[in-house]
Structure 1
Amino acid sequence: MAEASVLAAPSAGLSEKSHQALWAAAIGNLLEWYDFGVYAYLASLIAAKFFPSSDSTASLLAAFAAYGVGFLARPLGGIVIGRLGDARGRKAALVLTIFLMAFGTVGLGVLPSYESIGVLAPILLVILRLVQGLAAGGEWGTSTAFMVEWAPEGRRGFFGSFQQVSTAGGSLLGSGIAAILTSSLTPAAMLDWGWRVPFLLGVVLLFVGAYLRQNVDETPSYQASRQAAANQPVASGFPLGAFAFGFTIFWTIAYYILLAWMPTFTQRFAGLSPAQAL
């Protein structure tokens, strides 16, 4: 079944649809990873709003602990939504991850702070981070499969590269928007309402999801694999998945130390302003 899905490539007549699908998936992926990552760029403000404490370091650690909850949910999202992508199609799984991420992100943007609803605020924050983590975990593999399976013959590496390009692009977009806001608003305004703006922009994902659902077809290779599935045994992917999971831990830690923790670190310990750090 895996071989069939890899070998079946779109015909020459589907070139326009291939590019349409690539850009739709890449833009959706970029916005999803913007939504997942923007929390880290606003961690110091989130700490003050949801984890108030006389010890600012303890407050910040609590905010990053909530950020880490999203990573704990990502493997589960990859398993559950990845299975959905195999059973129901890549497109269905992508649309689901987009709407889940939009719900989690916009929910963070409208969530009352600790001052308004007390301990319920950080509890709801953690729940929304879990939703974001499930969406991000499902998005990673599904968007990669979607892009590669829509690639014309001989261009799978090029098409697949847009998954990582759009992922890093989402992180950079989050950093850029946070930098613009911190440069344009006073610290008091950022703490009062400005921190919500990047999360509320997650509503754009709803339009991307609706576009995907209405205008992009299922991948030709997925359709071919479903036709061939009845005649092929299903092999266990657990050993390979476990190896990939373990290997991925190392470069993921390095990636997020640089892109997620570095802006906060340079503000607290290198004397940079929030805009400079971002």
Structure 2
Amino acid sequence: MSTPLRLSTVILPVRRWHEGGRRSWERAEDLGFHAAYSYDHLSWRSFRDTTWFGAIPTLTAAATVTERLRLGTLVTSPNFRHPVTLAKELITLDDISGGRLTLGIGAGGSGFDATALGREAWTPRERADRFAEFVPLLDRLLTEDAVTHRGTHYSADEARNIPGCVQRPRLPFAVAATGPRGMRLAAEYGQAWVTTGDPRLSEAGTPRQSRDAIRDQIERLGKACADLGRDPDTLDKVLLTGFTPDKNDPLRSVDAFVDFAGRHAELGITEIVVHEPVPGTVFAADESVYERIATEALPRLG
């Protein structure tokens, strides 16, 4: 039996809480989205010199004004996080939200987060090495009362995390990955896998090429699961839109979105995430179409 497609949204932390920020999260719940995520960055690309708030405090506030909506990061990375302090914040947020938190997590990139702490950006290999240590340690911190770890990049000394997560054995991980090491982490520790498509195709590729690349990614994820003896159908497959060659085209109409979502569901995608429109930015879109997609698209997809 195929997994029903879910529809979620990303709410960028670009509005003051009392000047539209709160309403964005309330609206996401009112519209019936499965989950609402926020980017976990210190700043991001074209938003670097504009308003940008912290993800964890924003999600904590969102947890207090919603009841059903799942909440999460999309994604957190080791760029400016440490597993010990992050685990404490996540356990707290999972408690405040009543067990509605998902941690989207990835290896990070070479953007502003990589140098904001005054160090040189890590190489791709260094990011992969750190990620490979970060995820297993975070898994332990969220499932064990006390953790001691001496690693190459991260250490913990009798780190206490009592009472643990509301969700058991811990809150779910949605692991963003395209390479073999990341795929293995997703297969071993993830409850979901996240893709934005193939970044090499974002500007010069075609929608068909992008879908072919995502199909290949899902096949490689399946191989990583098989190597660990895991059924790949037990892993949700999440597509964060806005970075495939289609960009925001799926948000131009309900019909366009239904076509886009249907083609990706056929590949095995189980959750599609669209950005809440932000006027005057790369995520500009018609608010009314966004709302209609939330309420009308899934019934048409069956």
State TM-score, norm by structure 1. 0.27
Return the structure number with greater relative CO, CA threshold 8 A, min gap 6. 1
TM-score (norm 2): 0.25
> Rg bigger for which structure?
1
Structure with bigger helix share is: 1
Larger strand fraction of residues:
2
